[in-house]
Amino acid sequence: MAVCVKHAARAMVELNVRGSIVCTASIAASAAGEMNTDYFITKHGVLGLMRSASKQLGVHGIRVNSVSPSAVGTPLLCRYLGKEVEEVEQTYEPYTRLKGVVLKTKHVADAVLFLASPDSELITGHDLAVDAGYHLVY
């Protein structure tokens, strides 16, 4: 991720492009875990990268933010857990505070589009949790 941010930032600065860089973190970036320590460490690193880059690139008009979803039924997570999408959603739904909705990839994509759009022109250095309140119990 650091290499992607570095190269995107370098190109944007050289071409004098104001814009947005959006990193993908996780709600694990704001928590601690009893297992999978390497995953938690890397997601904490994403937040540090995003916050530092937002400070460094703001002078160039470049916003840097991150999106932190909870568990999303992606093919990668489904393979890791050995479950189908619906099973993954059912596994994590009881831990959310916002009932009646299930986190889908579209929700994460919509958050990224918002942070990349002019609608968020005054937002930088922010980590947007997209998790139906899962982080409140995590």
Q: Which residues are part of the catalytic machinery?
A: 39
Extract the tokens encoding 121.
């022109």
Cβ-based neighbour number of residue 68 at 10 Å: 25
> Which residue type, as a one-letter code, is found at position 108?
V
Contact assessment for residue 64 and residue 20, using Cβ atoms and an 8 Å cutoff = yes
**How far out from the chain centre does Cα 53 lie?**
15
Q: Which amino acid is at 112?
A: V
Q: At what angle do helices 2-14 and 37-57 cross, to 10 degrees?
A: 10
**E-only strand ranges, the chain:** 19-24, 62-69, 127-130
